[in-house]
Amino acid sequence: MFFKDIFAAALLATQATATIYYAGVAESSGEFGVYTHDLLIWVGAGASKTVGTGLPGTFGVDYKFINESAIDVYVDQNHVNLFRVAFLLERMCPVATGLGASFNETHYGFFVDAINYITTTKGAYAILDPHNYMRYNDPSQQPSTGSIIGDTTDSKAATTAQFAEFWGELAGRLKDNEKVIFGLNNEVLIQMQVKKYKKLILQAPRHGHESDPRQRPSSHKCHPSSRSKPAVGLPPLPRSKIEDAQLLTFPKSIIAPGNGYTGGHSWTQNYTGNSPASSAVLGNLTDPVNNTAFDIHEYLDSDFSGSHANCSQSGPTNLAPLTAWLKTTGFKAMITEFGGSNSTGCAGYITGLVNYMAQNEEYIGWTAWAAGPLWGSSSPCCGGGNAWGSLEPGSLAADGSPGFYATVWEKDVQPLVPVELQWSGVSSVRGGNLTSRV
């Protein structure tokens, strides 16, 4: 009995150090309205069927960032404190003027209104998510269209300096909002020399300008190309320490993606299309203010794509090598995309993944994929081609039955939301004071 008690005490002590500071949902609809695909199933009712159109699009019709009423439900009733808000670089920085510090002020106004509602009105945190796969100028068939940012062989490609200028401008405009988190880019999928990619990491949110002016599914996670195939890999986000007097200007959290759809299961794997492995490149990343975590996506279906209704991949088993690497290197991670359907068996896989994060101190937060105002009966992931609704409160399936909000979020995810989360202070990978809003 003595040894059993000692073991139990040690286990509790270990778990006491593991804390989820941020929990919530991804808000997907701000990137809608431009996606084109040969299969009409992948083209929503409002999407353009002509490559190159859909920009800038009509706000509230082609794209929209949030429904304030949905944010109210998630914060006031579900007591979550994190939203990952997707947008397109091509709308923020029109192609006519190029990627950089010149913004479409009307579009920026719509975006900042959403961010301010989440952070200022509701007191939650917001991840700024350029949903571009590190490409710019043609999002019509993401992730395969658009010039690779930093590709010096492509005369149309934006440069790494322009990418840094964009982030510097956006960070500068939001410098007084302590509740934003900079998500560098969604699922970087292109291959580039490591030394070139070092330029992308930030000369961006860590410094910048001080100015303060005020298709429906464009990128399904259930993308028709299977994630069981090797993703075209980008040696992701290694960076040397940037010597710049302005680096400490914006010390908010950064989350940086890895290779291979930034999959946690493949983080330490080196294979064709995923070489070098994220773990081989990112261990020497340095941040002058030590406030960078890694952005992880982890779906639970057979090929990790989020395109199937059945769950078969164990989150704890598949994340174990990543967790060991995080422990060794001292980094933290957020899982900003994960999901499962309402099919028999997925509940256990979802519970296993979320509990695993809660039990391992290397994970500081998560957002489930996905809610959003324009999904209708379509499913952002895990529907297997079925229209079973989304995580948007009130969502309905195509047959009028309750959608994924009721059948997945309320049933499987909501019971796993920590009672105490961080509700005040600057976004930090080290977390802050935990309080309850229950």
Kindly state the average pLDDT of the residues 387-399. 97
User: Tell me, what amino acid is at 33?
Assistant: G
What single DSSP character describes residue 294? Answer: E
CA distances from 362 to 102, 243, 355, 365, 431 (A): 37, 28, 13, 10, 12
- The backbone torsions φ and ψ at residue 304, rounded to the nearest 5 degrees and listed phi first, read 65, 20
The token duo for 399 is 């047959």
For residues 390 and 335, what is the distance between their CA atoms, to the nearest angstrom? 19
CATH number, position 342: 3.20.20.80
On whether residue 71 sits in a domain, the answer given is: yes
On whether residue 10 sits in a domain, the answer given is: no
Q: What is the pLDDT of residue 400?
A: 98
pLDDT digits (tens, 9 = 90+) for 182-224: 999 999 865 443 434 444 554 445 544 333 222 333 334 543 2
Q: What is the pLDDT of residue 140?
A: 87
Kindly state the average pLDDT of the residues 38-65. 66
Question: pLDDT grade, residue 84 (50/70/90)?
Answer: very high
| Total structural domains within the chain | 1
* Catalytic residue ranges: 187, 337
On whether residue 19 sits in a domain, the answer given is: no
DSSP string, 334-346: EEEE----SSTTH
On whether residue 18 sits in a domain, the answer given is: no
Q: What is the pLDDT of residue 31?
A: 95
Residues contacting 205, CB < 8 A, separation 6+: 167, 168, 170, 171, 182, 250, 252, 254
Q: What is the pLDDT of residue 221?
A: 53
Domain extent for 258: 31-436
Provide the greatest CA pair distance for the chain.
73
On whether residue 381 sits in a domain, the answer given is: yes
Q: What is the pLDDT of residue 432?
A: 93
On whether residue 16 sits in a domain, the answer given is: no
- The backbone torsions φ and ψ at residue 363, rounded to the nearest 5 degrees and listed phi first, read -105, 125
- The mean pLDDT of the chain is 82
The 3-state DSSP class for residue 436 equals strand
For residues 362 and 136, what is the distance between their CA atoms, to the nearest angstrom? 32
On whether residue 5 sits in a domain, the answer given is: no
Q: What is the pLDDT of residue 249?
A: 54
On whether residue 21 sits in a domain, the answer given is: no
